[in-house]
Every structure is written in C-alpha cells, then in structure tokens.
Amino acid sequence: MPLSRLGVVVPTFMAGLSLQDTITSVRIAEAKSDTKVHIVVVDNHPKKLDVLFSKEADHYISLPGNPGFGAACNAGISYFFQSTDLDFIFLLNPDATVDPDFFANLALYFESMSSKITWPIMPLISFDFTVLRIKLESIFKSKDELITIIDLENDFMIFDQRGSGLDSDHIGPKKITRDDCLVLRQDRQLPPEIYFKRNGSALLETFPLGDQFLVNDQIVQNAGSFIDSPFSAGDRNMGWLTSAASHYLTGPRQAWCGAAVLLPRDYIQSIGGFDESFFLYYEDTEFALRGLKSGIFPELVSTLRVNHKHSKITGQFPILRQREIWKSRVIFTNRTNGLLVAIGYILFKILRFTLILVLRKTTTKHFLKFFLPEILFSVIGLFKSLKIRHRHLHLEI
C-alpha cells in the first residue's frame, strides 16, 4: 500500500532553533520522497514564543496555557482528523530530526505490507551526537585472536558484537575480540595511536589512528519501550551502537516512544488519544499500554532513523522535570493497576525512605531535599489522577 500523504504533529514549548531544525529536517526528507507532508506545530507557551520558528510549518496552533505534552499532541491530532482525511499522523518532538531518507524508507515499508497498517510504527531513535568507531579488523590478524588495549586515559568505550556496551568504564587494560566495537569517548580528543598487546605477547605494540580506520557511529536512545512493572517502563537497548544493533531490532515491541512515532487513524479512533492527566512522562507508555491490551503491538522499523537531543527542552528545568516524573509515575500506576496499588506504592516509598533515614544511610538534609519532595509530589500525582479521569476519551476525532 502506498503512502502519498502524511500529517506531522510537533508539540513545542520554548524550543526555538531546535524546532526550526526539526521542521527543516522534515522538509528535506519530504523533498527526497514522493510523500506529501503537512506539518502542524502546537505551541504550549501562551506567549507564542515559537511562532517565529514555525514559518516552514503548514499550520500553527497556540494553546491558551501549558496543558502538557499529551494535550498538545491531542490538539494536533484533532486538527488533522477534523480538517483532513489523512490516515496517518507522525508525532515528532521539537528537539528531534528525521534522517533525510526517512519518508522514502517509510514508503518502502508501506509498500512491503500486504495488509492495511493498523499498528504504531516506531523509528530507531538515537542520541543526536556522533562517536568515532575504530575498524578493529585493521588491527586483528585472525578471528580468534584476543587483544588487550592499553587505555591510559579511559579514552575508549567497548561494545560487543550486538552493539551492547560492555563494562569498560575504567582506566587501564581492556580485553577485546574482533567482534567487539571500540569507540572513542565523545568528550575525548583523538589519540594519535592505540597501544595494545596481542594474546600471549609480552611486547607492547602501537597502531596509528588515521581517518581510514575510523567511521562515524551513533548510540541508541530508544529502540522500543518495555513495561517492566506496575510502576514504570524503560528504554530497550538504550546505549547500544546503532550500526551494530539496527540489523536485528526490527520487530514488535510492548510500547512506543512519544519522541517519534507514526500512529494510524484507526489506532487512535479505537484506543483514544493521550490521557491529559499526565503533564510530562509516561503519557506515551500509558497510551501504548491501552493498545497492547487491545492486542495491538507497535513495530520498530530500524530503517527509519531519528536523532534526538534527549531532554533538550525539559533538561532546562531539572527540578520541575523530576517532579513531573514522580507525579506521572503514580498516575501511571493508578491508571494501569488501580488505586490500591498506587497507594501501596506510595506507602512503600514512605517506609523505604524512612528506614534509610532511621538506619542513618542518609542525612536529614538529604532526606528533606530529595526524599521528602519525591513523596509529596507522588501524593500530588495520586490526587491529580483521581481528579482528572481519562480525559483522552474526550478527544475530538
């Protein structure tokens, strides 16, 4: 089935130039494909701070306050469903950019499907920075050879053949095989050569590092979420190398990431929109969980690539960000497992933190500064989830 048209919703809040980069990346990818893209920016700031950075968008929506990420996405989805007949909506964070071949690869995925797509499609999301990977085959003489890298300044990270990071966060000798990946740490300058010993050798050898032995690589931020308990969810394969991991990551997952996801109209109409009880965090996981309970599994497609400046916007407000996580975790618990489980979770947290204080494993100052606020905002989250009941049911579609 072809993909001729697509709606893109970009919720924003003081994103500035990052938003402009996001829109530009979409336009570049659109120009390299046969898909017509319609971009809607939904600004959560009442003063319209991002309107100047939305010039290349097709439509701009300014919300009267800041109701949160989910509410902004709902507003963009409602716009498309009320004014167009588009079957697919792509949600994209204002601090994320799509690969130039994104829409062309998406069209190829659609063409490969023999049936109508009714499930969310997730791209392979990576952190928006590159690392230098060393071509180890240039050093190794045989596949079975073992080499010890003499890492004097902790310049290198080591990944196994699947792209998963190994425990190598120390200065000194590090043993690697030909199937491993050796990556220069992002914050290190390139050393002129590598010092190493071959297996069973007492001699120290050197290997010069030139451009012909180096290749750019990226690190996975989210390759599909999973729900690990009634209280939280996580990012699968976070910290893996995209080059090594992408070839087998395609497939069904438990949940999708709201930073970048393609949602079919049928999926939204049957599941509902975002639950606006959440201000930030867990709203995408709760949304995906409703789909999962209906038997709809999202699929990760590793040929679709998105670079994400992780927490570029929310990271500007670290205290508020942490408070929203505490609140959202309890809202998620109440929504998915009921009030008694949510109350039990808070009581367990109170007991645990109190024991830590009584057993003198923390100071009173630390308890008051970190543990007590977590308890208080967890309780606030509980009351908020009781006050606002599943507002996603009122999404106008």
Q: Rounded to an integer, what distance in angstroms lies between the CA atom of residue 206 and that of residue 199? A: 15
Residue-wise pLDDT for 235-294, tens only, equals: 878 889 998 888 778 888 888 999 999 999 999 999 999 998 898 889 999 999 999 999
* 323 pLDDT higher than 70: yes
Strand partners, 124: 305
pLDDT at 391: 53
pTM above 0.85, yes or no: yes
DSSP letter for each residue of 293-338: HTT---EEEEEEEEEE-TTTTGGGSHHHHHHHHHHHHHHHHHHHH-
What is residue 313's predicted lDDT score, i.e. its pLDDT?
Answer: 66
- Does position 393 have pLDDT exceeding 50, yes or no? no
**pLDDT value at position 315?**
56
Tokens of 249: 């990551």
- The pLDDT assigned to 283 comes to 92
Taking only the tens place, the pLDDT of each residue in 60-114 is 999 988 999 999 999 999 999 999 999 999 999 999 999 999 999 999 999 999 8
Q: Which residues contact 196 (CB under 8 A, 6 or more apart)?
A: 139, 147, 148, 149, 150, 204, 205, 206, 207
At residue 86's C-alpha, the angle toward residues 72 and 53, to 5°, is 45
What is residue 320's predicted lDDT score, i.e. its pLDDT?
Answer: 83
**Sequence ranges of the domains in the chain:** 5-128+220-314, 131-217, 319-394
Identify the pLDDT of residue 213: 86
Residue 166: pLDDT over 80: yes
Average pLDDT over residues 354-368: 92
Amino acid at 69: F
pLDDT given at position 314: 62
pLDDT digits (tens, 9 = 90+) for 123-160: 999 998 888 888 888 888 888 889 999 988 888 889 98
Pairing of strands 96-98, 299-308: antiparallel
Residue 164 is classified by DSSP as P
Q: Which band of pLDDT confidence, cut at 50, 70 and 90, is reported for residue 317?
A: low
Q: What is the pLDDT of residues 200-235, one digit of tens each?
A: 888 899 988 888 888 899 999 887 778 777 777 778
How many CB atoms neighbour CB 11 within 10 A? Answer: 26
- Give the C-alpha separation, 347 to 89, whole Å: 40
What percent of the chain is modeled with pLDDT above 90? Answer: 55
Average pLDDT, the chain: 89
What per-residue confidence (pLDDT) applies to 200? 81
329 in Cβ contact with 232 (< 8 Å): yes
Which pLDDT tens digit goes with each residue over 193-207? Answer: 889 999 888 889 998
Neighbours of 248 (CB within 10 A): 10
Q: What is the pLDDT of residue 41?
A: 98
Write out pLDDT tens, residues 22-59.
999 999 999 999 999 999 999 999 999 999 999 999 99
Strands 5-12 and 88-92, by their bridges, are parallel
For residue 388, the model assigns a pLDDT of 64
Choosing among 3.40.50.2020, 3.40.50.720, 3.90.650.10, 3.90.550.10, the CATH entry for 5-128+220-314 is: 3.90.550.10
What are the b/e assignments for 269-291, b being 16+ CB within 10 Å?
eebbbbbbbbbbbbbbbbbbbbb
